[in-house]
């Protein structure tokens, strides 16, 4: 598929010295020096936690957040280091991590800055499928699981390349209620919508707030109500049905639209079915 690349050298080490220190740059352009391969990893992002599991790193991941629900067993077997935007620094200190993995959007700058002063922190910054593939390859490189990461990336790329042309429907994707918030331009969700045949009617960047009348005036053909971060339910469909009787209103699995790790491989069939 044109536009999607697969850079096998993404995350390549700049320097691998005799004492096995790996010097890399993360997706925010920051240099990170890592003891290679890392043995005590903390993940601060649910989708990247699942990726670490699929890369076979169960024995080396020591801490995750309370929102890292895949794999489910890790909620009992791994230390919980707080949420994505509220870290338990005392727990993290006890774990003595040699690598912490975070994300620019999902984590908070003050907390990341505090951790970066003490530990190697590698940050992703993802708004496209290409950047997600780069992240997978980079984490495969710095965890010494490059072969698995390349295989996974190629399978994801092939999956999205298999999307044929779809008649595009004017769509709004809601992620929150009270206030309503929608996925706008420059987001990973926006790109996934595009691949899936949904034309995003939101022109504003990031995640703008909307009032109900604005949604009605946009007259979307499709309204997608995400399961996360706000857990939309069947009852919320009725709130839109009266005002927009001609719109198709769907509850959708938010993980399939917004998780940018190995979940992307599972998302292909789900998105095609939509």
Top pLDDT among 163 and 23 is at 23
Q: How far is residue 153's CA from residue 262's CA, in Å, rounded to a whole number? A: 8
Instruction: Indicate whether 262 pLDDT > 70.
Output: yes
- pLDDT mean over 245-267: 96
pTM of the predicted model, to two decimals? 0.90
For residue 241, give both structure tokens: 């049905």
Give 3-40 as a DSSP string.
T----TTTT--SEE-TT-EEEEE-TTS-EEEEESS-SS
Length of the chain: 274
What band does 168 get if pLDDT is binned at 50, 70 and 90?
Answer: confident
pLDDT greater at residue 3 or residue 71: 71
> Which CATH number does the domain 169-273 belong to among 3.90.1150.10, 3.40.50.720, 3.40.50.1980, 3.90.280.10?
3.40.50.1980
Six-digit token pair at 226?
């995400």
| pLDDT average, residue stretch 51-58 | 98
Domain ranges of the chain: 15-160, 169-273
Please give the residue that has the higher pLDDT: either 6 or 266.
Answer: 266
Q: How far is CA 228 from CA 88, 178, 212, 220, in A?
A: 23, 14, 19, 21
Report the DSSP pairing between strands 180-182 and 169-176: antiparallel
Q: Using a pLDDT cut of 90, give the percent of the chain over it.
A: 88
pLDDT-derived band at 189 (thresholds 50, 70, 90) equals very high
Q: Where are the beta strands (DSSP E) in 129-220?
A: 169-176, 180-182, 198-200, 209-210
The predicted-structure confidence for 31-52, as pLDDT tens digits, reads as follows 999 999 999 999 999 999 999 9
Q: Round the average pLDDT of the chain to a whole number and report it.
A: 92
CATH architecture of the domain 15-160 equals 3-Layer(aba) Sandwich (3.40)
Band the pLDDT of 4: cuts 50, 70, 90. Answer: low
Average pLDDT for 198-202: 96
Mean pLDDT within 18-36:
91
Q: Do 169-273 and 15-160 have the same topology in CATH?
A: yes
Residue 76 burial (10 A CB sphere; 0-12, 13-18, 19+): exposed
């Amino acid at each position: 598929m044109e536009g999607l690349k697969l850079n096998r050298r993404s995350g390549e080490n700049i320097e691998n010295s005799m004492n096995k220190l790996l010097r890399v740059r993360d997706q925010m352009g920051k240099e990170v020096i890592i003891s290679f391969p890392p043995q005590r990893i903390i993940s601060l992002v649910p989708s990247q936690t699942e990726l670490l599991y699929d890369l076979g790193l169960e024995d080396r991941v020591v801490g995750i957040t309370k929102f890292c629900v895949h794999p489910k067993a890790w909620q009992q077997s791994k230390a919980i280091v707080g949420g994505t935007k509220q870290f338990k620094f005392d727990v993290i200190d006890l774990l003595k991590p040699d690598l912490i993995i975070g994300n620019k959007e999902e984590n908070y700058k003050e907390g990341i800055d505090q951790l970066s002063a003490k530990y190697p922190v590698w940050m992703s910054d993802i708004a496209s499928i290409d950047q997600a593939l780069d992240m997978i390859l980079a984490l495969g490189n710095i965890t010494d699981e490059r072969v698995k990461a390349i295989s996974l990336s190629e399978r994801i790329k092939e999956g999205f390349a298999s999307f044929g042309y779809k008649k595009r429907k004017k769509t709004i994707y809601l992620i929150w209620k009270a206030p309503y918030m929608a996925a706008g331009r420059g987001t990973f969700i926006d790109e996934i919508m595009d691949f899936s045949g949904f034309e995003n009617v939101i022109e504003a960047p990031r995640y703008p707030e909307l009032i109900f009348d604005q949604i009605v005036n946009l007259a979307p053909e499709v309204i997608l109500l995400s399961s996360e971060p706000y857990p939309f339910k069947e009852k919320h469909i009725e709130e839109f049905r009266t005002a927009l009787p001609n719109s198709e209103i769907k509850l959708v699995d938010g993980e399939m639209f917004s998780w940018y790790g190995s979940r992307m491989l599972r998302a292909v069939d789900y998105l095609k079915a939509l």
